[in-house]
A and B are shown apart, each in its own frame.
Chain A
Amino acid sequence: DTEVTQTPKHLVMGMTNKKSLKCEQHMGHRAMYWYKQKAKKPPELMFVYSYEKLSINESVPSRFSPECPNSSLLNLHLHALQPEDSALYLCASSQGVIYEQYFGPGTRLTVT
């Protein structure tokens, strides 16, 4: 089973709201990732967790706050977002950072 699940599928939020995106995998993978994808562009890396520790933060604004409560779960907390943050947010996991990444279906975020 190579399934990564993400909730919610769609999210509409105002610029003053606080919301969270959730990601879960049960493949025993020790690396998890958050990506942002705009229409007709490739995914852009935001954060990498390896063994539940933040390894990479690609200079992402502080209004995005990642959290890895355990090896199966990854959250992305959102606060005071801007309309330009509207995008498809993808979670991925891999057995280790050198292996192929498996992506979830994504959360379509719209900021109004």
Chain B
Amino acid sequence: EDQVTQSPEALRLQEGESSSLNCSYTVSGLRGLFWYRQDPGKGPEFLFTLYSAGEEKEKERLKATLTKKESFLHITAPKPEDSATYLCAVRVFGLRLTFGEGTQLTVNP
């Protein structure tokens, strides 16, 4: 059975304190790994797609990386507006995405 595990469940940072979120997966045949950001009561906002081990994507203070077993979302010098829940999802053969439970990030000023 395909599994996606995100850690930590919650992370509290001070503004400017860099850190990483983890998404580990056990799937047969990865066809894409997706990162989303979700603010309370809103729909997930697409951030990145990664397809193969060694791939990296960057956007502002965020950088996503992918290995054969896990993906990291690195947050450099975060700001309070980066506070949100970050969701990881994987696609294997077929149409479905399997989501992790998310990491709730809080950045204090």
A residues contacting B by CB (< 8 A) are 2, 4, 6, 31, 41-43, 45, 48, 50, 55-56, 88, 90, 92, 97-106, 108
| Partner pick for A55 among B31, B34, B87, B95, CB 8 A cutoff | B95
B46 partner residues in chain A, CB cutoff 8 A: 2, 100-103
Leading 5 A-B pairs by shortest Cβ distance:
A42-B99, A103-B43, A97-B95, A103-B44, A106-B43
What residues of B have a CB within 8 angstroms of the CB of A48 in the complex? 95-96
State in angstroms the CA–CA spacing of A42 and B99 once bound together: 6
| B interface with A by C-beta (< 8 Å) | 31-32, 34, 36, 41-46, 49, 87, 89, 91, 95-97, 99-102
Q: How far is the CA of A97 from the CA of B87 in the complex (A)?
A: 19
* A45-B96, A98-B91 known; A106-B101 Cβ under 8 A: no
What are 29 contact pairs spanning A and B, CB under 8 A?
A2-B46, A41-B101, A42-B89, A42-B99, A42-B100, A42-B102, A45-B97, A50-B95, A55-B95, A88-B41, A90-B43, A90-B44, A92-B43, A98-B31, A99-B49, A100-B32, A100-B34, A100-B46, A100-B49, A101-B46, A102-B46, A103-B36, A103-B44, A103-B46, A104-B43, A105-B42, A105-B43, A106-B41, A106-B43
Q: Could you tell me the distance in whole angstroms from the C-beta of A109 to the nearest C-beta in chain B? A: 13
- A30–chain B nearest beta-carbon distance, Å: 12
Residue of B nearest to A102 (CB): B46
Cβ-closest chain B residue relative to A55: B95
The residue in chain A whose Cβ has the minimal distance to the Cβ of B45 is A103
